[in-house]
Structure 1
């Protein structure tokens, strides 16, 4: 029970702050917590029993939130790059579609070929040109190849 209670998810408290529990003080290394004061909202270092109180001033919430927003804006790829990526992805999708359509045609043709071979083999067996043992062996082989092609097609 104590171990479960000691886990800091960064979301303790009734008030929600964007960076509470996930940012650290550069000076003392402690996590920052958010607080509301009469003059505004601030982040401050959590107290540490072993190191004592940090000497850094409180940091306005808006200041850090604005810095984070500016960082995200700098991390956004340029619009030209996004447009280029979009065009490239569309070309890849078209290429894959062409390849898939070609493969579907090939598989359908393969299935038809094996069905034709099975029918021809049956005719030859019934006409006495092929022995029953050879017919069964070849029919099994053709059926297996046809099923493989049908499975790939589906």
Structure 2
């Protein structure tokens, strides 16, 4: 078991995520410390996009804590409609998927949504995937963060 001070110091250095030390889980978000950025997507394509998690978590990691944040604003009327997002990991040929849905509409403001969830993870495929149901031509950015992991 690590102390709160050790946990805070841990979260300030991404490289420390590589040291499992037999811990059962590590939560990288602490007061005053931002989560580790996995990547950002603007969905100018409906093709899947993937991000490597190699060297960000130990190879014996079994679950990931993921934060998705979506920022939208100043969209033209032609962008109105539902957009579906799928975020997943793959282990031994099986996809483990989280689903997220937003509704884009013409607005002269900025809206924001954020959610934390977990996904299974295995060392045979050290990537996280994301896909959108349609190309987004307005101002929408999706950010993925690593909140922590379990061994």
TM-score (norm 1): 0.16
TM-score (norm 2): 0.16
In our comparison, the structure showing a higher alpha carbon Rg is 1
- Of structures 1 and 2, the one scoring higher in RCO (CA 8 A, sep 6+) is 2
Which of the pair is proportionally richer in helix?
A: 1
